[in-house]
């Protein structure tokens, strides 16, 4: 779980993950990958974090995707789930996502754009258009309906196929799909809630970074000397 100033959401996310583990008889290891939030996250973790949740305080190479890459390296379990902390992603969907992995998907997306998905009413039209355009620009890289989603499940072994993961910006899923040569992408519909507390970190600068990331991935897949698996 990458975090930057999510102290409002972490207690609720933790409660929901606790309930999930109890109800589904699951045993999770949760790594909160935090980038010097200085909003009380450290104090909350020291006082309230359960044994299965570990706060990792990052001090360099800040950013959502690098935090996720570091988290993948630290995770010790064979199945890995990446999700936002702000309660946009329902943790209750994790068992279904793991089920799709068991059925053969290499990577499973908690998707906002397949049948059965929904978003909160408040989604501004500009945000919808923005999300659609971003997805359309990624079409040459993947046929997934929601490769922009930050809610992902995959096997560790799949990630080990990549020679190097060096994503910039928010789109870690796209990076994994391209660099890990993923062909079987599963998508599980989710209800995407608006963030419940804290502030958004998605701004114009972040969106321009996405274009740079896309260019790099296009080059990786289609450029001269490409390393695409045959
Ligand atoms: N470690 C780390 N996490 C980050 C960083 N920026 C964002 N995050 C986390 O990544 C997740 C997604 O960020 P959000 O700000 O929710 O981005 P978004 O969902 O596209 O935008 P909103 O819908 O407006 O919330 C959240 O858990 C953030 O706390 C960062 O620089 N470092
Ligand atoms: Mg969010």
Q: What is the distance between the alpha carbons of residues 22 and 18, in angstroms, rounded to a whole number? A: 6
How far apart CA 86 and CA 180 sit, in angstroms, is 27
Distance from residue 200's CA to the centre of ligand 2 (Å): 6
Ligand 1 pocket member 174 (CB < 6 A) = no
Task: Give the whole-angstrom CA distance, residue 24 versus residue 103.
Answer: 19
pLDDT tens track for 201-223? 777 888 888 999 999 999 999 98
| Per-residue model confidence as pLDDT tens digits over 56-91 | 999 999 999 999 999 999 999 999 999 999 999 999
- CA–centroid distance, residue 110 to ligand 2 (Å): 14
152 — alpha (psi -120 to 50), left (phi > 0) or beta? beta
| C-beta of residue 220 within 8 angstroms of C-beta of residue 31 | no
What predicted TM-score, i.e. pTM, was given to this entire model? 0.93
Q: What's the pLDDT score for residue 195? A: 84
The answer, yes or no, to whether any atom of ligand 1 lies below 6 A from the CB of 173, is no
Please count the residues of the chain.
230
- Note the ligand closest to the C-alpha atom of 5: 1
182 CA to centre of ligand 2 in angstroms? 25
Task: Evaluate: CB of 189 within 6 angstroms of ligand 1.
Answer: no
Ligand 1 atom closest to the CA of 67, numbered from 1: 1
Across 11-15, 110-114, 118-122, 141-145, least confident range: 118-122
């Amino acid at each position: 779980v990458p975090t930057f100033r999510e102290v409002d959401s972490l207690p609720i996310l933790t409660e929901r993950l606790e309930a999930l583990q109890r109800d589904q008889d699951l045993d999770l290891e949760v790594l909160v990958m935090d980038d010097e939030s200085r909003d009380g996250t450290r104090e909350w973790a020291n006082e309230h974090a359960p044994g299965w949740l570990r706060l990792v305080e990052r001090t360099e190479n800040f950013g959502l995707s690098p935090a996720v890459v570091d988290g993948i390296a630290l995770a010790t379990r064979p199945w890995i789930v990446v999700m936002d902390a702000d309660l946009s992603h329902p943790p209750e969907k994790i068992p279904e996502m793991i089920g799709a992995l068991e059925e053969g998907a290499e990577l499973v997306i908690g998707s906002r754009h397949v049948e059965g998905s929904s978003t909160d009413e408040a989604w501004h039209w500009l945000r919808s258009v923005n999300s659609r355009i971003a997805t359309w620009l990624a079409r040459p890289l993947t046929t997934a309906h929601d490769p922009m989603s930050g809610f992902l499940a995959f096997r560790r072994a799949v990630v080990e196929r990549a020679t190097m993961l060096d994503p910039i910006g928010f789109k870690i899923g796209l990076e994994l799909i391209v660099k890990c040569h993923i062909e079987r992408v599963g998508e599980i519909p989710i209800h995407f809630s608006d963030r419940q507390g804290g502030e958004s970190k998605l701004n114009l600068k972040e969106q321009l970074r996405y274009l740079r990331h896309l260019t790099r991935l296009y080059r990786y897949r289609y450029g001269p000397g490409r390393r695409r698996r045959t």
